[in-house]
Chain A
Amino acid sequence: MQATSTMDYDGPPDYRTVGRHALLPNTTHDQAERYNFLAHLNRHLAAQVLPGIAVAYRSEIEPSFRQRHGRAPADRHEVRRALEGHAFYRIWSALRRNAMEMRQQSGLSVVLGQLRELIDRSAGLADQRRLRLDPTLSPPRYLTAVDHHCMPGSYYTERLDQDVSAAANYDSGLFVTTGGLLGRLADGGGRGMVAFLKKLRPDFAPRRILDLGCGLGHNVLPIAAAYPDAQVTAVDVAAPMLRYGAARAASLGVDNVTFVQADAADLSAFEDGCFDWVGSIMFLHETSLAALKRIMAESRRLIAPGGLVTHVEQPRYDASMPLLEQALRDWDAFNNNEPFWTKLHEIDLDQLMVEAGFDRSRLIHEGVHAIADGEGFRDAATEKVEDYGRKPAWRITGAEVPAQGYDAP
C-alpha cells in the first residue's frame, strides 16, 4: 500500500498481531480492519488533534475566562466548562465519543455473531474448580445506573445462558482504545505490577493473592504466572467476566487462579488475614465512595501480617497537576460514563487507607506503566503521545503491613 510519509512509523500495530487464546472471538478481514481504523482514529485524535486544545486554551479560552471573571479558573470544573465553550474542544469531544460508540458496535457485532460458539468453548475449557459463581449476587447500583465506558449492557448482562459476551467484547476490542500499548494480551498492567513487586520485595513468596475487580483477568494472569506457587483468588461481581476469564486462563495454561463471583466491598466469605497480597488494577474508579471505603476496610481485614496491599489507578489530581490536564483527564467522567472517575482522582486515598487501619508511615506510592509484551507492541514508557486518562501509565497507592510481633502496639 502506498504511503507518502517518510517519518518513523509510531502508530498502532495491526490488529491481527494481538495474542491468541481459545476464547478470543474470531474476526473476519473487515472486522479486523474496523478495529485498525478505530485504533488509528483514537491515536489521531490524541496525537494530532488534542494538542490544538492546549493551544486554544492558552491563546483564547484562559484569557477570555480571565477577562470575564477577573481571575484565573479556580478548579478543573471551571476549566472544563470553559473548554466546552470552544468549538475545537467540542469537535474533538464529539469525535472521541463517537470513536467509543463505534468501538462498542464493532466489538459487539464481532462477538454476538459467534456467541453460542464462544459460550460452548468457555464451558468446555473452564476448569470448574477454578470458577465459583454466586447467582444470588446482584450487581451494585453504581454499576447498573449507567453502562460504564458506553459498553451496552455493561459487564454483567446475560444475553444468553452462561453468557460471556460482555467479556468477549471487552477483550476483543480493548486494542482499539490504547492502540496496542497494553501488549499482545492486554496484560501490560499486570506485567508492570510484577516488575514493581520483584523490585520492592525480591524474595516475596506470597502463598495467597487476592485481585479485586479482576474483570476477565487480563492483569492478574501475569501476576499468577510470576508466583506459580501462590493460590490466586480473582473476584468480580459480573459472571460473564468470570466465566470467560476462567476459560481464557485455562487456554493460556495458567492454573493457579480461582475466579470467584463476589462483591469486593463485602468479602465476608474469606477469613481475616488470609492473603499475603491484596491488589486491584484499574478497579476503584468504577465503584462508589461508600463501596470504596468498604473495599479499603476489607483489604485491611484480609491482609496477613507482613503482607502488602496495592491499588493501581491513574494519577491523582493534586496541586502539582495543571488544571487543564486535570480537566482533560476528567473527560471520561462526564462524557464516557465513568461517573465515579472525577471523585476517585480527587480524593486522598492515603487518608482513606489510614482510616481503614493502615499505618501512615508504611504507605507506598510508586509510578507504574504498562510493559507491553509482543513484537511490534511498544511500552507506554516510550509513548510520547498523551491521551489523558487513557495512557497506560498509572500510580500505585498501597501499604505494607507489619509482620506479627514486629512494631505491633
Chain B
Amino acid sequence: MSEDDKQAPLDVVRLAGAKARGKRPYFLEDPDVERVLSIAMAIAGELAVLRQRLDTIEELLETRGALTREEIETFVPSPAHAEARGRWHQEYLARILRILQQQAEAQERNDEPTSSEAGAWMLRE
C-alpha cells in the first residue's frame, strides 16, 4: 500500500469482504452450488441479526414503554434473556440446516424403503 493510500478514506465494505491470500478450495461437486450456499448462509445470518434486533426492540418496549436508537445499540440482555436468545439461535440453526440432520439420520437408517417400494409391498400383502 502506498503512502497516499494510507491517507485516503478506507473503503471499508470492499476491504472487509476481501479474499484471503491462497487459492480457495471448493468442496461441493459443483462450485456454482457452493457459491449459492454461501449466499444462502449470509442471508440466514442477516435474518438472525434482524430477528435479534426485533427481540431487543420488544424487550425495550415492554420494559420501558419507549425506546431510542441509542438504547438498541447499547442493549445488553440479562443472563436469562441472553440464554433464551442463545436457545433461539440453536433452534433457528436446526431449522435452517434441517436437511443435514435428516441426511445424517438417513445414513443410520439406510434400510428404509422408498414410498413406492413400500407401496409395492402393500399390493402384495
Spell out A's residues near B (CB within 8 Å).
1-5, 9, 11-14, 16-17, 28-30, 33-34, 36-38, 40-41, 44, 48-49, 51-52, 55-56, 59-60, 84, 87-88, 90-95, 97-99, 101-102, 104-106, 108-109, 112-113, 115, 144-147, 150-154, 157-161, 334-335, 337, 375-376
Contacts and interface: CB of A to CB of B under 8 A. Distances in A.
Interface in B26-60: 26-29, 34, 37-38, 41-42, 44-45, 48-49, 52-53, 55-56
Measured as residues with beta carbon below 8 angstroms from the partner, the interface class of chain B is 35 or more
Interface string B78-119: 010111111111111110010011011001101000000000
- Which one of B41, B79, B81, B84 has the highest number of Cβ atoms from chain A below 10 Å of its Cβ? B41
A33 B48 CA distance: 8
A34 B16 CA distance: 14
B93 A160 contact: no
B12 A40 contact: no
A62 to B, nearest CB: 13
- Which one of A29, A90, A158, A159 has the highest number of Cβ atoms from chain B below 10 Å of its Cβ? A29
Given A36-B85, A95-B97, A144-B21, 16 more contacts: A5-B90, A16-B77, A17-B82, A29-B75, A37-B49, A44-B97, A48-B100, A59-B107, A90-B29, A91-B27, A93-B27, A104-B20, A113-B12, A146-B20, A150-B22, A159-B1
Contacts of B12: 108-109, 112-113
A147 B20 contact: yes
A5 B91 contact: yes
Interface of B: 1, 6, 10, 12-13, 15-22, 24-29, 34, 37-38, 41-42, 44-45, 48-49, 52-53, 55-56, 72-73, 75-77, 79, 81-94, 97, 100-101, 103-104, 107-108, 110
Contacts of A108: 12, 15-16, 18
Contacts of B45: 34, 37-38, 41, 102
Contact of B22 (A34, A95, A337, A375): A337
Given A30-B49, A95-B37, A152-B19, A9 B87 contact: yes
A16 B75 CA distance: 9
Contact of B88 (A2, A84, A150, A161): A2
Contacts of B21: 144-147, 152, 154, 337
A51 B41 CA distance: 21
Contacts of A99: 41
Given A1-B81, A158-B1, A33 B52 contact: yes
A98 B84 contact: no
Contacts of B22: 145-147, 150, 337
Given A40-B89, A55-B104, A59-B110, A94 B49 contact: no
B104 A34 contact: no
Contacts of B1: 157-159
Nearest to A337: B22
B52 A51 contact: no
Contacts of B29: 90
A113 B13 CA distance: 9
A14 B91 contact: no
Contacts of B83: 9
A33 B88 CA distance: 12
A260 to B, nearest CB: 24
A334 B25 contact: yes
Contact of A55 (B72, B92, B93, B107): B107
B93 A1 contact: no
